[in-house]
Structure 1
Amino acid sequence: MKVLFIHQNFPGQFKHLAPALVAKGHEAVALTLRVKEPTRWQGVKLLPYEIKRKPGQGVHPWLVDFETKLLRAESCYIAARKLRDQGYIPDVIVAHPGWGESMFLRDLWPSARIGLYYELYYSSEDNDVGFDPEFSKADEQTDAIRLRLKNLNNMMHSQIADMGISPTQFQADSFPEEYRQIIDVIHDGIDTTVVKPNAEVTYRLGDGRVLTRDDEVITFVNRNLEPYRGYHVFMRALPELLKARPNAQVLIVGGDGVSYGSRPPEGRSWKQIFIDEVRGQISTPNWNRVHFLNKIPYDQFLRLLQISKAHVYLTYPFVLSWSLIEAMAAGASIVASDTAPLREVIRHGETGRLFPFFDGNRMVDEICTVLDSADMRAQMGAAARKLAVETYDLQSVCLPRQLDWIDRLNKMPPKKVRT
């Protein structure tokens, strides 16, 4: 079987699936922006595509998002057409359509079966948009129109998709019913043989201090520190948290950039904005117990999860972070926002503790509840790991289901597209 992957930052969500297909004897090729010259990665042939033109001037602001996706779709189409003209015909195309790249590939290979990674459907109801009034748009009616237009990319891809895959039920359910009929809910997978508890773990801080499992460690992890993942809620609760836990060390992981949502004003970072907001409320001795680790290597990240006595995670109603499932697999005691994506994995009092997203005082109470009971931490950590292993383990659950998804996709007749 010949499988063509499309992902601007390959491997992305396909980092386990693509090498597994190669290991089973299939041919895997990927078109991506990540490389400039043809190369190989774990048996996958990587081919570059280049964005051929810049966005136009004077485009209606509601169409700017779609134009960027259209430019990538055109550029990927040009590279794919060259590949076709060289005689390459894939049996299956697996694409993340979020950046528009795969929009026109059915036109090149009408016989190929196309499977899409459905990450999220944009909506003004029961979703991230408008969830946080502090960062909501001024004109909600206009925002709803903009969101409908933002789904043009999803609509264009729905015309070519034979099957779909979403990592969580929440993400699948964000799509309209006609999409959900072809979507399988299969997580990307966590290697729970690597991500697991370690009673002997230590973590060395920048000042040379070595933390052990005997220390009271509170952890907070985001790719970037920003409102979508509740960084502002956590920081605003930090003064009270530090007063309530005079022996706690707070370890915060995340970069200064923006992964989701709007950029901060005046070229500042969300990270610094909320440091500045709360710093005056925190004494210097207490502030010295707060450690901003920025982005850290994966082995350090695992040790951080393993040493945590209370791992705090918040998110808007949005894509669930891999780090949350990894924290569960590591046996961490989770304190999390009571938002829809988290209710799928955190059962209050069983696999973690939930609190209302905007209620920083309640968050502090839940953290204290966890830290004050070793028995509770042990029971919740074990239950969280059990759920992670049974539902999200890479080798025993997710990867076999992904490979079965590919097999079913390969066997079905391709969709006929009207032009």
Structure 2
Amino acid sequence: MRYLFIHPVFPGQFHRVMQQLAAQPGNEVVHLSRQSALEAVPGVRKLRFSVPEGATPTGHPYVHKLEEAVIQGQAVAHVAAELKRKGFVPDLIYGYAGWGQIMFIKDIYPNVPLVGYFEWFLNAYGSEYNFDPAYPLATEHQLYLRAANTPMLLDLQSCNHGITPTRWQQHQFPEEFRHKLTVLHDGVDTELFRPKPDAGLNLPGLSLPPGTPVVTYSTRGMEPFRGFPQFIRALAELQARCPNCHAVIVGTDNVYYSKTLPEGRTYKQELLEELAGRLDLSRIHFTGWLDTPYYLQVLQASCAHVYFTRPYVLSWSLMEAMAAGCLIIGSNTAPLQEVIHDGENGLLTDFFDHHALADRLEEALRQPERFRSLRENARQTVIQRYHLPKLLAAHVRLLEHWAAEPLHSAFHPEHSS
């Protein structure tokens, strides 16, 4: 079989499934991207598409995202047309949806099944927007959101099938398209992410012995979208109550999803200034990005792991922390409610109430044995629902089905919903 994967960044979410398909005799796997985050995947041929220099959005602001998608899609179409001219006709195309890369691929390969990876659909209400009263959505932005969904809608229309990681994400898409979307998570390596009882922490520049009461928090960016203000304010209260506790914060102080602050300031700066005199910075350790072995150490040393988010895409880091046996203290928002049942495999608290978060953290540090079963249940949840070998096999089966079957066939895997 011949497979063509399309993603803006190599290898994107397709690393493991490409490697699995490429390892099978007789398969040819090609990946088309604009840039690379990884040098190579064994058995996968890398191709690049480039956007013409100076190709920037023009015209009305509402259509900027559509114009960007058209530019990307046109660039992909040109490379695909050259591939086709040289005789490469895939049995299946699997592409990342919503950003333009697969917008025109059916015009090049009209008879090839197209499976899309659908991560998120923008909604003015019910998800990340109009959630926090401090950040109301302006009418003009609401109008923009509707127009910004155009590339995703085009991909939903043209694809033969789609994959989305969670039910929460599936239900963000318009109801008339949900029948096309199989809920299939990428999976978590539960052999790598596993508990290590009585683990200490030995990072470059930081060493904490076993038994140290450690609160952990990891994020792409320290910003309101992921509840960083609530966490740091709760930490100020917790430090006053638990003078021996330490906090390890993994990630950057960049802003990815939230409103940017003036003059290049960060939310970390704002909050440290707000809480000056109330935080003991000698017990707060900002690690920046960590390689996986160091990050795993952080999770294994954690007494309580905080994961807060607005109603948005659920971070894979949550499931990794659960697999590592962390006690999760999370926000009572819809994405977490799909995975965490309060008092069974973790603890949930109001997103906006940092006092309640401080209370839960204090309980976790003072009574660790009380929550042992929640840690164990968290790991079992991941093993049962997000175990990598099981979900990777389902992923491969779905792609093989669409590669082998006529376009009019229907597929109903075990993991569809």
Shorter-chain TM-score category? Answer: over 0.9
Specify the code of the residue in structure 1 equivalent to 2:158: I
* 2:99–2:152 CA contact under 8 A, matched in 1: no
CA 1:23–1:175 in structure 2 vs 1: closer, same or farther (change >3 Å)? same
Q: In 1, Cα distance between the equivalents of 2:285 and 2:51?
A: 40
Q: In 2, Cα distance between the equivalents of 1:263 and 1:83?
A: 42
CA 1:57–1:34 in structure 2 vs 1: closer, same or farther (change >3 Å)? closer
1:335-383 deviation digits (Å, cap 9, x = unpaired): 0000000001110001100001011001111112222222233111100
Q: Could you tell me which of 306, 319, 322 is aligned with 2:313?
A: 319
Residue in 1 aligned with 2:189? Answer: 191
Q: Could you tell me which of 199, 213, 228 is aligned with 2:225?
A: 228
Residue in 2 aligned with 1:268? Answer: 265
* 2:203–2:294 CA contact under 8 A, matched in 1: no
Identity over the aligned pairs, expressed in percent? Answer: 34
* 1:219–1:308 CA contact under 8 A, matched in 2: yes
CA 1:295–1:48 in structure 2 vs 1: closer, same or farther (change >3 Å)? same
Specify the code of the residue in structure 1 equivalent to 2:174: P
Residue in 2 aligned with 1:2? Answer: 2
More off after superposition, 308-317 vs 157-166: 157-166
1:209-252 deviation digits (Å, cap 9, x = unpaired): 3332x110000000221221111211222211211221111000
2:85 is the counterpart of 1:85: yes
More off after superposition, 159-168 vs 365-374: 365-374
2:284 is the counterpart of 1:290: yes
2:370 is the counterpart of 1:376: yes
CA 1:104–1:133 in structure 2 vs 1: closer, same or farther (change >3 Å)? same
* 1:5–1:95 CA contact under 8 A, matched in 2: yes
1:152-301 map, 5 Å: 152-212=150-210, 214-282=211-279, 286-301=280-295
Unaligned runs of 5+ in 2: 410-417
Q: CA deviation at 1:206?
A: 4.8
Unaligned runs of 5+ in 1: none
Specify the code of the residue in structure 2 equivalent to 1:96: Y
Q: In 1, Cα distance between the equivalents of 2:92 and 2:22?
A: 14
* 2:15–2:41 CA contact under 8 A, matched in 1: no
Two-structure CA RMSD over aligned residues (Å): 2.0
Specify the code of the residue in structure 1 equivalent to 2:33: T
Task: Name the count of aligned residue pairs.
Answer: 408
1:300-379 map, 5 Å: 300-379=294-373
Counterpart secondary structure, 1:350: coil
2:403 is the counterpart of 1:414: no
2:400 is the counterpart of 1:400: no
Residue in 2 aligned with 1:45? Answer: 45
Q: CA deviation at 1:43?
A: 1.2
Q: CA deviation at 1:67?
A: 1.7
* 1:130–1:136 CA contact under 8 A, matched in 2: yes
Residue in 1 aligned with 2:414? Answer: none
Q: In 2, Cα distance between the equivalents of 1:57 and 1:368?
A: 50
Q: CA deviation at 1:96?
A: 0.8
Residue in 2 aligned with 1:32? Answer: 33
Q: In 2, Cα distance between the equivalents of 1:215 and 1:81?
A: 59
Using structure 1 for the length normalisation, give the TM-score: 0.93
1:285-344 deviation digits (Å, cap 9, x = unpaired): x22101111111111001100110000000110000010000000000000000000001
Q: In 1, Cα distance between the equivalents of 2:271 and 2:184?
A: 36
Q: In 2, Cα distance between the equivalents of 1:190 and 1:222?
A: 17
Residue in 2 aligned with 1:15? Answer: 15
Q: In 2, Cα distance between the equivalents of 1:42 and 1:301?
A: 25
Specify the code of the residue in structure 2 equivalent to 1:331: G
Q: CA deviation at 1:405?
A: 1.2
Counterpart secondary structure, 1:220: strand
Counterpart secondary structure, 2:134: helix
1:107-133 deviation digits (Å, cap 9, x = unpaired): 000111111111011101111012123
Q: CA deviation at 1:33?
A: 1.5
* 1:35–1:46 CA contact under 8 A, matched in 2: no
Q: CA deviation at 1:55?
A: 4.3
* 1:110–1:414 CA contact under 8 A, matched in 2: no
* 1:76–1:102 CA contact under 8 A, matched in 2: yes
